[in-house]
Amino acid sequence: MILSPVIQDLVDECEALREFLAGLAPDDWHRQTLFFDWTVADEVMHLHLIDWFGMASLETPEHFPELVAEVRAGQARGYELSNRMRDQYGHLPSPELLAIWTDTWRAMIGIFAASDLERRIPWFGPEMSVASFAAARQMEVWAHGQDIYDVMRVRRTNHDRIRNICDLGVRTQGWSFRNRGLDKPSPPEVRLTAPSGREWVWSEGAAESIVGPAEDFALVVTQRRHVDDTGLRVMGADARRWMEIAQCFAGAAETGPAPGVRAIDYTG
């Protein structure tokens, strides 16, 4: 099957994490990560639950608003997605949890492959194109995967498919401010070095700038590192403020890790 680049990048991201998870010992799945103290199992449950929501949107879009209403009503009562995922999947041993996540994302890829990338699908916020949804899923797999690599003290090898996450980070610059009730400043130049050594540039020539490794930028916009714990060089007050509140995922405004909290020593 020949897939479009954005769909292939999602496949590769999922497959890389699946292979890493398959090599973990059963006890490793109970380790607590630095993401809300979720365990490794919690991280995979979350990925599976959101993929399951994605399948519902893709297969029965006409009924998806009912699912959204049900989820929102539960949240209003204090029944969060973390409660839902543990109730539905928390009893599963790690091999079964890995299997159902894998089966679901592979089924989702099959639907993506047969779809027009510009097809609009409903979601919890504004509807999205299939291409945008695939990029968002890659971002989540990469970010939650980072939590797992961190708790296992393993430095993963990144690839140029990380560009999709960096691009999402750049495109959500305005959202990061508006989500906090702040005025959106002009975007800075973002000049990143890809894992392959290529240079990626957005808003070239802007007055302020962010320069450094693409991996570090992705870690900041997914709130897996504080900017001070990266190799990014940030020039300009507005660019600095963005890097302190950057959030490339939907939902209420979240606060990323403080300096030093997720500065991982991979040799420990």
Over the chain, what HEC string results?
A: CCCCHHHHHHHHHHHHHHHHHHCCCHHHHHCECCCCCCEHHHHHHHHHHHHHHHHHHHHCHHHHHHHHHHHHHHHHCCCCHHHHHHHHHCCCCHHHHHHHHHHHHHHHHHHHHCCCCCCEECCCCCCEEHHHHHHHHHHHHHHHHHHHHHHCCCCCCCCHHHHHHHHHHHHCHHHHHHCCCCCCCCCCEEEEECCCCCEEEECCCCCCEEEEEHHHHHHHHCCCCCHHHCCCEEECHHHHHHHHHCCCCCCCCCCCCCCCCCCCCCCC
Position 98 scores a pLDDT of 98
CA distances from 256 to 95, 245, 247 (A): 31, 7, 8
pLDDT value at 2 more than 80: no
The burial of 143, by beta-carbon neighbours within 10 Å (0-12 exposed, 13-18 middle, 19 or more buried), is given as buried
Bridge-based pairing of strands 209-213 and 189-193 is parallel
Give the residue-averaged pLDDT of 20-44.
97
Average of pLDDT values for 8-36?
97
**In terms of C-beta distances under 8 Å and separation of at least 24 residues, what long-range contacts does 156-159 make, across chains too?**
156/16, 156/20, 157/195, 158/195, 158/214, 158/215, 159/12, 159/195, 159/196
Task: State residue 1's pLDDT score.
Answer: 62
8 A C-beta contact, residue 130 and residue 115:
yes
pLDDT per residue as tens digits for the range 218-262 = 999 999 999 999 999 999 999 999 999 999 998 889 999 999 999
Q: If you average pLDDT over residues 107-127, what whole number do you get?
A: 93
Range 129-155 average pLDDT? 97
- Over its C-alpha atoms, the chain yields an Rg (Å, rounded) of 18
Q: ∠ at Cα 149 (10, 104), nearest 5°?
A: 35
The pTM assigned to this predicted structure is 0.97
The answer to whether 214 and 193 are in contact (CB under 8 A) is: yes
Residue 201 reports pLDDT greater than 80: yes
pLDDT in tens, 143-191: 999 999 999 999 999 999 999 999 999 999 999 999 999 999 999 999 9
As a whole number, mean pLDDT of residues 183-204 equals: 98
Q: What's CA 181's distance to the chain center, in Å?
A: 23
Give the pLDDT confidence of 50-105 residue by residue, as tens digits. Answer: 999 999 999 999 999 999 999 999 999 999 999 999 999 999 999 999 999 999 99
* pLDDT given for residue 268 in this prediction: 58
Which tokens go with 60? 């029965």
